[in-house]
Amino acid sequence: MLQIPETHKKRVVILGAGFGGLSVAKKLDQNKHQIVIIDRNNYHQFQPLFYQVAMAGLEPSSISFPLRKAFQNKKDVVIRVAEVISVDPIQKKVETSEGECTYDVLILALGATTNFYGNEQFAKHTYGLKSISEALQLRNDLFKDLESAILERDYEKRQGYVDITIVGGGATGVEVAGALAELKNYIFPKDYTELDYKEVDIYLIQSGDKLLQGMSEKSSVAAEEFLTKMGVHVIKNTKVVEVVGDEVTLGTGQKIKSRKVVWAAGITCVKIAGLPDQVYTSGNRIKVNDQLQIIDNKDIYVIGDQALLQNEVFPKGHPQVAQVAIQMANQLSKNLNQAASKPFVYKDRGSMATIGRNKAMVDLPHFHFHGFFAWLVWLVVHLFALIGAKNKIFVFINWVWNYFTFDQSLRIILKADTKNQ
């Protein structure tokens, strides 16, 4: 059993401690609710900066925050580290790897994971970027392969070690490509003098005809121009059809030598056993009403990436981004605290993406800008979104140091084993 203390308060069980889960837990009234948070990790992860951990720009601890520390002074917040196995809507209980837990109200906020579209080959031979452990694995293998490249005399084999392919031209894809280009242009010539850094090729593969599909045309054009000037090979209108060993095959027949393939081509939600099949839609998102409740069950709510709320403004559902999850959490917590039923209405405050130093794109509801000022806005927004004063200070110091020295100092291999071996 999960050993949850019994109280007279209504028990709200929250599955997942991402942006949505953490936000709703913080805003629920503890005088009315016992709050139980269940997550596979004992910390919150700041997903927008995973790529900076992977590219040796930040330490994992700088973008993580212990859950117990976040609720140190909260008496009726219970935290359990466990894997969710199933939900029983009839008995109103959750089955986890560590035992069962009953609930009065259940909130699903488990987020999403990398979508390999059922292709085991892609899952085995490519790198996702949806967790800190995946980011660290990519960082380890990136620098380990560079060490191997120094010892390799055969040009074709050496290309496999140094070339990198990113699949997916969304925000994650362009940010990884930009960060890699900065490593290639500023770090590799100083650290790896025995290698010709010009041999390092970075490929960004996009199946559609534009980058940053969810942003404006101006942002898409700016992103492609920035990346091209930084030396990234942007290849559009084709898909990756095969990844075997150190070779990537595109739909056009083109083959790329690359041991490291970063998969940023989409996300999918994890299906939870016990919920009726009819609540699920494409990508395993769960259909909800404007109260964020699932079909025919007023005690189960869904927020964040998992939630699919369709209306006239968003016929395909809301974008799977942090600000949607946070706004859903805020509205749901107000409704639960006040026993109200105010419908959720999303207020789009804009979107942004960065390519690197002085290069970013910002789309506001009625305005677009890119370049240095957009980059400053991106930095400020992400800095203040981090949890914990210490994290904010450490990230700020790292960013300032990197900016003035052109040096990301975390280029260490933490473990010897790699995914490709």
* Partners of residue 368 on adjacent β-strands: 363
- Tell whether 161 and 257 lie within a shared domain: yes
**Domain boundary residue among 210, 230, 265?**
265
pLDDT tens string 67-84: 999 999 888 999 999 999
Report the chain's mean pLDDT, rounded to a whole number: 93
Please indicate, yes or no, whether residues 57 and 138 belong to a single structural domain of this protein: no
In sequence order, what are the residues at sequence separation of 6 or more whose Cβ sits closer than 8 angstroms to the Cβ of residue 175? Answer: 51, 353, 354, 355
C-alpha 272/C-alpha 84 separation (Å) is: 8
Whole-structure pTM value:
0.92
Collect all residues with Cβ–Cβ distance below 8 Å to 275 and sequence separation of at least 6: 87, 89, 286, 294, 300
The reply to whether 277 falls in a domain is yes
Same domain, 93 and 164: no
**92/146 same-domain check:** no
List the domain range (segments joined by +) for residue 252.
Answer: 120-265
Could you report the per-residue pLDDT of 303-322, keeping only the tens digit for each? 999 999 999 999 999 999 99
Say if 308 falls within a structural domain.
yes
**pLDDT of res. 245:** 84
Question: Strands 232-236, 267-268: parallel, antiparallel or unpaired by DSSP?
Answer: unpaired
Contact 211, 169 (CB under 8 A): yes
Counting residues of the chain whose pLDDT is more than 90, the rounded percentage is 89
Is pLDDT of 409 > 90?
no
- Among residues 249, 265, 281, the one where a domain terminates is 265
Verify that 177 and 309 share a domain, yes or no. no
Total domains in the chain come to 2
204 and 298, same domain (yes or no): no
Q: Are residues 285 and 234 in the same domain?
A: no
Residues 2-40 have pLDDT tens digits of 999 999 999 999 999 999 999 999 999 999 999 999 999
pLDDT category at 415 given cuts 50, 70, 90 is low
- Count of beta carbons in the 10 Å neighbourhood of residue 188: 20
Considering 216, 232, 265, which residue would you say is the last residue of a domain?
265
- C-alpha 139/C-alpha 414 separation (Å) is 9
pLDDT tops 60 at residue 278: yes
Residue 381 domain flag: no
pLDDT for the residue 214:
87
In a domain, 194, yes or no: yes
154 and 31 in a common domain: no
**Sign of the Cα pseudo-torsion (221, 223, 226, 232, in order):** negative
d(CA 285, CA 279): 8
Confidence grade of residue 407 (pLDDT, cut at 50, 70, 90)? confident
Spatial contact of 77 and 37, defined as CB atoms under 8 Å apart = yes
Q: Are residues 107 and 127 in the same domain?
A: no
Structural domain contains residue 165: yes
Pairing of β 247-250 and β 267-268 = unpaired
Average the pLDDT over 386-404 and give the result. Answer: 93
**Across 361-387, average pLDDT:** 95
∠ CA 114-55-256 to the nearest 5 degrees?
65
CATH at residue 159 = 3.50.50.100
More confident residue, 385 or 413: 385
Residue 419 has pLDDT above 70, yes or no: no
Asked if the structure places residue 374 within a domain, the reply is no
Q: Specify whether 59 is located in the same domain as 72.
A: yes
Q: State residue 251's pLDDT score.
A: 94
Q: Contact 215/174 with Cβ under 8 angstroms?
A: no
314 shares its domain with 238: no
Q: How far is CA 346 from CA 184, 288, 362, 414, in A?
A: 40, 14, 19, 42
Determine the Cα–Cα distance for residues 179 and 37; give it in Å rounded to an integer: 34
> Is the confidence at residue 92, as pLDDT, over 70?
yes
Residue 10 or 408, more confident: 10
The CA angle 240-242-245, to the nearest 5 degrees, is 120
If asked whether residues 52 and 64 sit together in one domain, one would say: yes
Task: Report pLDDT digits (tens) over 172-230.
Answer: 999 999 999 999 999 999 999 999 989 999 999 999 999 999 899 999 999 999 999 99
Is there a domain that residue 71 lies in? yes
Comparison of pLDDT for 66 and 416, the residue scoring more: 66
In-domain check, residue 409: no
Average pLDDT over residues 315-340: 95
